Amino acid sequence: MKTYIVGNWKLNFTVGEASIYLHKLLKKIPNYRDLEVVISPSLIALQSLSLQIDRHKMKLAAQNGFYRDYGAFTGEVSFSQLRGIVDYCIIGHSERRHIFGEDDKMIQKKVAAAMRNKITPILCIGETESERAFGETADVIRDQLIGGLSEVADDELEKVIIAYEPVWAISSTKAAKLASPDEIAEAMALIRKILAETYGEKIAEKVPILFGGSVNPSNAGGYLTVPGVNGLLIGGSSLILSEFADIIEVAKRVKS
C-alpha cells in the first residue's frame, strides 16, 4: 500500500500564494513511486492549480463538496463540478462537523457523491476531548465510520481513505495535546476491526488509514511507524513549505 501525505491548507493562501507554494514544492520533491503526496487548497485555487500541478508528483484534494450534482443550492460546489480537477476530497473534517454542523447523514451523502464522481473521499473521523474523557471514543469512531460509509458498497470500499483525527490533537483546538503512539495504534486497530466486521477482512486490509493531529517534521517519523498508520493528514505544518517538504522526506525514509 502507498503512504499518503496530505496537506490540508484550510482557509489560507490567496490563489497567487498557493501557486507560488506549488511551484516551489514541485521543484523541491522528486516523483516518489510509493508516496502519494496530496495538497488541499481553498476551492478558489483548485482550477488553476490543476493546470499547474505535475500529477506524477502530487495530487489535489478539495476540502469540501456538495452531495447533489446540480440544482438550486446557492453557494455550493458539487463533486460533478470538481470531477477532473481533483483526485481526492476531504469529507467530514472535524471543522465541518463542529463549526458547520455537518452530521453523519450529510457526510454519508457527500462520500457517495464523491465516489459517484470518481473522487476518492478522505473520510475524517475522531472524538472530541470530552467524548474521550467520558469513555465514548470507541462508540464515536464506530458511529462516524459506519455512518459515513453507509452508502458505500462492499466492492467500492477500497476506493475510500479514512483519516483518524482526534479533535483534541488538532493544533487549532484550544490546548491541543499530542496523541500518543498507543492511543493512535488502538484507534487504528479498532477502525480496521470495524471495517473487517462490516466488509470482510480482505477488503478492510486494502483501506488506507491516515493519522492527523499536530503532525510536524519532528514527530512525523514516529507517527508513521505506529502500527496501522498508512499516512498523515497535516494541517498547520503543511502551510510552511519547508516543513511539509521535510515531512515528505521523513515519510520516504521511514516507509522505504
Q: Does 48 bind ligand PEP (CB under 6 A)?
A: no
Binding-residue total with ligand PEP (CB under 6 A): 14
Told to check if 251 binds ligand PEP by CB under 6 A, we report no
Among 65, 92, 147, 212, binds ligand PEP (CB under 6 A): 212
- In the complex, the smallest distance separating the C-beta of residue 165 from ligand PEP, rounded to whole angstroms, is 5
211 contacts: CB under 8 Å, gap ≥ 6: 163, 164, 165, 179, 184, 188, 223, 226, 229, 231, 232, 233
Nearest approach in angstroms of CB 213 to ligand PEP is 5
Taking CB under 6 A as the criterion, the residue among 3, 8, 219, 230 binding ligand PEP is 8
Dihedral sign (CA 155, 158, 160, 163):
positive
Task: Please enumerate in sequence order all residues whose Cβ is within 8 A of that of 184, keeping only pairs 6 or more positions apart, or say none.
Answer: 164, 211, 223, 226, 228, 229
Residue with cell 521511514: 254
Q: Considering beta carbons, is residue 85 or 239 the nearer one to ligand PEP?
A: 239
Residue 27, amino acid = K
Of these residues, 93, 95, 102, 243, which one is catalytic?
A: 93
Whether 98 is a known active-site residue: answer no
CB-based contact 75:43 (threshold 8 Å): no
Q: Which of residues 96-135 bind ligand PEP (CB under 6 A)?
A: none
Contact set with ligand PEP (CB under 6 A): 8, 165, 170-172, 212-215, 233-237
